Amino acid sequence: MTLLRRGDRVALVSPAGPALPSRVAAGAEVLRSWGLEVATPVVEPWALPYLAGSDEARAAEFVDAWCSDVAAVFCVRGGYGCLRMTDLVPWKDLPPRVFVGSSDVTVLHAELGAVGQPTVFGPMPGTADFVDDPVAQARLRAVLFDGVSSWTAGTPVVPGAARGVLVGGNTALLAASVGGPRWERPADGAIALLEDVGEEPYRLDRILTQLVRAGWFEPVAGIVLGSWTGCGDVSDVLADRLSGLGVPILGDFGFGHCAGSWSLPLGVAAALDVDARTLTVV
């Protein structure tokens, strides 16, 4: 994955929900403190207040920012909306860029991964998970500028090791994408990163069951579990739905909607060693 350097120009976009202008401004200042030139999004009020504009406007903003003279594109926040605009983006025509986002942005990671573009699943500059969390900021910067590519964390769930391309993100969005016009299962041997927020155990059961029934896990060779903030005690449902897949699983890895979140690449080959609690880009 291409690294960023001081002086690079980057764009902030709003492909999902609207972010607080004050929070976007604070996030942009953090990025400027890294030596980046930052272009911020223009959000117009729209009929559905949970969206940062119409589908056409959000898709156009995304494409225009991506195709401008920038080294990276950062999503300001998730929420909901990426699934509505993804069919309006000419994914195969997009030039290479560094891309950062998480949560609802899982949908866009999948689209970019399908056309061979690596991305970074990390905290977004229009959210408290970035603005109010200097540890998460530092961890994202280390990936983007220093090329940090190995992490040690978590709790072993199912022992073993695997090698494959990193895929995944927010579990609910992965399930919501099933059956879409360009939906496809992960590549054979993939390592799946899974996390979620605000889903009760029975809802997470339904989400995982949908993915199991759709065959999403059939090519997966290993699983890394992140945070489950606001989901209650999900240990039993995760064990029930995932342990029987017969692949190594590393839990509590500390990415997603949590304090000090790791920023992890998607669309790149990596090695998972559950016993050593390591994930390493290869």
Write out the catalytic residue numbers.
103, 195, 257
Residue type, 170: N
> SS3 breakdown of the chain: % helix, strand, coil, rounded to 5?
35, 25, 40
Measure Cα distances from 281 to 175, 191, 192, 245, 268 in Å: 26, 11, 14, 23, 7
Do 55 and 84 contact (CB within 8 A), yes or no?
A: yes
Q: State the Cα–Cα distance between residues 230 and 243, nearest whole angstrom.
A: 22
Residue type, 255: F
Strand partners, 197: 229
**Strands (E) located in 201-258:** 220-229, 249-251
Measure Cα distances from 140 to 26, 209, 227, 231 in Å: 16, 32, 17, 25
